[in-house]
Every structure is written in structure tokens, then in C-alpha cells.
Structure 1
Amino acid sequence: MSKYDEIRSFYDHEVNEALAGIACDPMMKALMNFTFPGKEEKTWLEEFKNVHSIKDFQTHFIAFTIRQILAKSSEGLTTSGFDQLDKNTPYLFISNHRDIVLDTSLLNLVLLETGHIMTASAIGDNLVHRKFLHVLAKLNRNFLVQRGLPLREQLKSSQLMSEYINELLHHEKRSVWIAQREGRTKNGNDATQQGVLKMLAMAAGDQTLTDYFKTLKIVPISISYEYDPTDSLKMPQLLAQHRDEQYIKGKNEDFNTMISGVIGQKKRIHIHAGQVIDTELDDIAAKIDNKNKQLQALAQIIDHSIIRNYKLWPTKFIAYDLLHHTDTYASQYSEQEKQLFVRRLEMRINPSDAVSKEYFLSMYANPLVNTMKLEGDSSI
């Protein structure tokens, strides 16, 4: 027994049995039919018998699934910054978060194809209530973030997760992916929650805050989708917040969002790996004594990297111009791109509803607005 059993992914020796347990699930059949169209069920069931590690499963099955998703629902994935990372070093990737499944899946595909260490990835336990999804998550080296706990239990859970991340990075030499905030960004404003950094710091022991964070080798990740396939699904929560109402998720909302993210059109996608945060931590230590202010300064450094390296697709400029009734950025997109985006808006929301339209456009425009603020300029 391990103290991490409640949250950890599978050990390699558990993989074959776990996979056999869900091999005949209708959702597995649908997944394999999507991944390997035309391949007979008995063929991949037989191939499952040769899977004895998470890497086997990810390399021979899930990587093909992600490539199919890219082929069927995008116009391609580009990357930058990964050539600056050492292939034998485990990193803590702190990422902006837009899509439940794809953010980490796409990153791991990039890491696999570039020969870097793949990640163990945090996922909310609220997303894997179904047995199939729970097992599939653990087969993909996901570990569980326990949600909705009373305060005392939440603190214990955060301590456990902090120690587990420390164990992965320093003892198992495994990279880790974690979102910069709890839950996905709904409004396009990518901001690191200090609570995430506080959780990570709980395993620091006798080390100073900044010395410990240096050992984590934090790499900010910026992921940008030209179209957000779940844009319209984010609207009810944004509108509830606008009306100052409590938002309660529907029974199958998370599952439907996952499916929409996978199959929905994304057009182009870009992932950038920032530079390892290192000397910046020395500067924080030299200038700031208060731990909370140190965490605030680190969050700002992560935010600046994510925003600065976020790929601004034409949709961001179009949304800004439509929102502000201007043609300031007309040189950044074609008339056809604008027409396609307007058509999408009209199909996804009620365009006569001014509030919905404003929130929809802001969702796309805010990364551009944040870049402008960072650069202290009104133009790009």
C-alpha cells in the first residue's frame, strides 16, 4: 500500500489487468473505432495483451488517438520552445487551461515525438466519475485532484498532492503537468492562482520557498486554439456570473464538454514551452521577504510568460475589432476569416443578445487585450 493510492496513476505492473478490465466497454470500442477505423475489434483486443506499461499504452494507442483528433478536427499543431529543454530533465509544466482532455494530451504527444520525458498530469476527480474514464485517466498517467472536500480534508489532500508531485519530479524523475488555476479559463483571461503555488510549496520542508521552487524546474506552457470548440458551452457559466447567480453544472456537463473538446473544430493549435524559471526566483528572494508576496511575484512571472508566448490567431484580432466596432487589426486577418468567424458566432449564440455577444467576443479577444497590457501598448 502507498499513501498515494487514492490519487496516483497506475503502476506499470497494474496496467495490463486494468486495460483488460475496460477492453470490452462500449466506450473503449468507440475510442478504438475512432483511432483505428477499419481495424477489427479482435485485432486490437489481441494487441492489448502486449501492453504492460503506461508508455506502451500511450505510444501504441493514445498517441494515434490524438493524431486522429488533430487530423479530423484541426488544421494542425505547431510548437515552439521545446528545443530549449533538456530531454533527460523532468520539468513541472504549469499551463494555461482551455480544454479538459486536449491540453495535456497534445503536450504529451509533443513530448513523445520530440523525445522528452512525458508527464504525469493532474485531473479533477469530478471529471472521472464514470469507471471507464477513471481507469482510462490512470492509464494515461493522470493523478487525481480531489474536489469538493471540507476545509480540513482539503488541506490534507493538498499536502498529499504536493508530496506526490515532489515524489514524481525528484524521485521518479517524471515530468508533471498542472493547470495554472482550478478549472478551465472560461473568459480568455489566463491567470495563475496563488492557491496552486501554495499547494506546490507545501512539500518544501526546510528549504526556502524560492530554493524549493528552483528544484521544481517550472516551465510555463502557453496553449492556443484558433477556435475554442467549447466556446458556446462556457457561456451559461459566464452569463450566470454576469447576473450574479450561482452556477450549477448539469449532470453530464463535464462529459459533454470533454466530447465537444475532442470532436469540435479547433482550426490551428500552437503550444509554446517557456524558459525554465530560475534566476527570477533569486531576484524574488533578494527583494521580497514575505512568502505570500513571493508567491504573488512568482504567479506574475508565470502569467507574463504564458501571455507573452500565447499565439494570437486571427480570431483574437477579429473578435477585438467586432467587440469595439473598429478595424484596428484588419491587417491581421482576411475578409474570409472574418466572415467565417461571424458565421460561427451566429451559429453558437443568439447574436441579437447583446450580453451573450459581448461575452463570446471577449472570450476570444482577451488574450490580445492581455498582451497589449503586458507590452504597455495599444498595438501589436
Structure 2
Amino acid sequence: MAAFASRRLARWIPGLLRNLTRRRLRRWIESVHDVQSMQEVVEFYMNRSIRTTTWGLSQDGLEKFQPGKAHVFVSNHRDIVMDPAFTNLLLHRAGFSTLQIGVGDNLLKKPFVADLMRLNKSFIVHRSLKGRELLLALQLLSEYIHHCVEDSENVWIAQREGRAKDGIDRTDPALVKMLAMGKRKLPLYESLAGLHIVPVAISYEFDPCDEFKARELHEVRTTGSFTRTAAGDLRHIAAGMTRFKGRVHVAFGEELRCENEDAEAVAAAVDRQIIRNYRLYETNYRALEILLDEGELNSPALRQAAAGRNVDIRSRDLFDRRLARVEGELRKLYLFGYANPVISRYECEAGAN
């Protein structure tokens, strides 16, 4: 939080800045008495984050929705906190009810964090349970999500467990099955239809955790595993809040037409909307161009896509400067993290033809 207030001062006078930040937080927390007052605090910091860490926040698709009709927004997942936060802010600005947000229990190791999440209309998605306990927790979760929608409360949930560290957005069919569990007596498609599911694609011109993600993927590839820690999660949360993101765009898709009993087919329908609606930036095309030039990819169609873009000089130059700081062993993974959304778009469109 001190770094969020001022990254430069956090380097020069960290102790003093921490004390000042602690006092400011205490004043803010004293003003929080309920969900409404908590969300006012969050809105203040979100507006500040947009001013200081982005080149702008935009959206498309919200004009299609009717006030008073709730939806389950199934989103791709790039940042732990900022994905639902940006989506929530855009809904609020457009006059829609704010979100009930699904949060993994791995982020709630400290009780005070869990309490703050609940104050911000978050509910816990249990991932650490096993066997019958997990089944019962998923049943309860699904029933709660159905209750929210019936009570005109919008819901946000990620399309799969964990962020898409490689830039490939894929919906887990297990999520689809969980969403349907709340109305087990109904066919899957009918249960899902009652949730008014809307796929959401959020894109960051610059991923604030791009190096972290490349390092994690590298560790998995070289050692076979990656050990998550509470401290690491908090570091990623802080980076997502404080580091530069360039332009951020949230695309709200069409309400899903649930006519299929196959969870994998439903997941694929969500994926198609997310991939097609995902806003591609110069950073995505620049990464693809470099991979093609270095022989990591060999595709005339992808080269044509990269060559046919209108080059954004500002974005390209900043991307090149950031790439120059990336360690050699992480470079390829870093580039694919940005290039994969273009590759996914090409594959999606090729499959439709």
C-alpha cells in the first residue's frame, strides 16, 4: 500500500511512508461501516489507479444489458484483484448493481483479509478441500450464485482456477458443471440459462505481472512444479495494483444461449466469445512479430496478421524497453504470454471457416 501511494518515496524513505500510509488507512477504515462505505473507499482507489497506472479504461457491450436483470459474468483471468475490480467499476459507472465476486480460498489465509473481501461483496471459492467436503462446498457455492441472480445481484467468476499465465484463455468445463449444480433437478442447460451467463474478456496492454508469470512457467518447466506462498500472492496483488498497465479494455459479450447438455460444449462457447472480443494491442502483435523473426513460429498467416497492423510507436517502444530487461531464460515465455491471444484469435477464426 505504501508503494501504491508513491513508488519513488517508497524507495527513498520506506519507513516514514509506511507510517504515513498506516495512518491514512486507519482513517479510511474508521469510515467503513458497511458494504456501501467499503465500496466508496474501493472506488476512490480504483479511480486513482486508473489515473496513475493506465493510459485509460474502456469498455464495450454494456449498452446491451437491462437494469434490474442480473448476470453471471464469466471472465478470462489475468490479474488477481484488478480483473473483477475494473469490471465492477464499469458496471457501477453505467448504473448497474455491483458484483458479488468469487475469490479463491488460497488468497484468504489471513482472517482480516477474508473480512475485507466479504465487505467488498466477495464470496469464497473453496479449492483446498477434498472429496465429499469439496462436493458439498461446490453445491453450496452454486446454490449461492443462483440465489444472487434470483435476488438481482450480478456475479463475477473466473473461467478457470488461476490466472492465464501463458496468455491462453480457456474455460474449465468443471466450472460449467459447478454453476449448474445449484438446480440439480433441472437439465444442465436449463439450470445455466437461469444464470444469464455473459462471457467477459479483459485485456491489458501491458500485463503488470508479466515477468512473474514467465518466471512461474519457467520454474514449472524446469522443476516440474511451482510452490505458491501467501507472500507471493500478496506481491502479485500489489504489482497488479501499482504497476503500469497501459490501456485496459473490458468487453462484455452476448448472453450465452444455453441449449447443450455437454459442459465442454458450453465452455467452448464461452471461449469463442472471450477470444473474439479480447482487444488486441500493439504489444500482442509486437511479441508475435519477434517470435516469427526469431524462428520460434513459422506461419505465413500469422506473419500477415502482424504485418497488417497499424503500428503504435509509443506502445511498441515501451514494450521493447520492457523486453530488454527480461532475463534470457524467461524471454520466450514472456513473448508467448503476449503473442498467444493473437494466435488464439487466428485459430478461432480459422476453425469457424
With normalisation by structure 2, the TM-score equals 0.86
1:224-239 to 2 correspondence within 5 Å? Answer: 224-239=203-218
Identical columns (%): 32
Matched residue, 1:321: 289
Question: Do residues 201 (structure 1) and 175 (structure 2) align?
Answer: no
SS state at 1:161 partner: helix
Structure 2 counterpart of 1:266, one-letter code: K
Aligned to 2:58: 78
User: Secondary structure at 2:203's aligned position in 1?
Assistant: strand
Tell me how far apart the structure 2 counterparts of residues 96 and 32 of structure 1 sit (CA, whole Å): 36
Which residue of the partner structure matches residue 311 of structure 2? 333
Counterpart of 1:245 in structure 2 is 224
Contact kept, 8 Å, 1:89 with 1:117, in 2: the verdict is no
Matched residue, 2:272: 304
Q: Which runs of 5+ in 2 are unaligned?
A: 1-16, 295-302
2:342 corresponds, among 368, 371, 374, to: 368
How big is the alpha-carbon RMSD for the aligned residues of Structure 1 and Structure 2? 2.2
What code does the residue aligned with 2:323 have?
L
2:195 corresponds to: 216
Map 1:65-144 → 2, pairs under 5 A: 65-144=45-124
Unaligned runs of 5+ in 1: 1-25, 35-40, 285-290
Indicate yes or no: 2:37 matched with 1:56: yes
Moved over 6 A (4+): 26-29
* Paired position in structure 2 for 1:4: none
Q: Is 1:27–1:132's contact at 8 Å kept on the other side of the alignment?
A: no
Give CA deviations for 1:183-238 in whole Å, capped at 9, x if unaligned: 11110000000111111111123211111111110000000000000011112321
Contact 2:31–2:37 (CA<8 Å) still a contact in 1?
A: no
In 1, Cα distance between the equivalents of 2:22 and 2:276?
A: 36
**Whole-angstrom distance in 2 between the partners of 1:141 and 1:73:** 25
CA displacement at 1:84 relative to structure 2: 0.3
Matched residue, 2:128? 148
User: Structure 2 vs 1, CA of residues 295 and 350 (structure 1 numbering), >3 Å: closer, same or farther?
Assistant: same
TM-score calculated relative to the size of structure 1: 0.80
Give the letter for the 2:282 counterpart.
P
Query: Structure 2: which amino acid aligns with 1:197?
Result: V
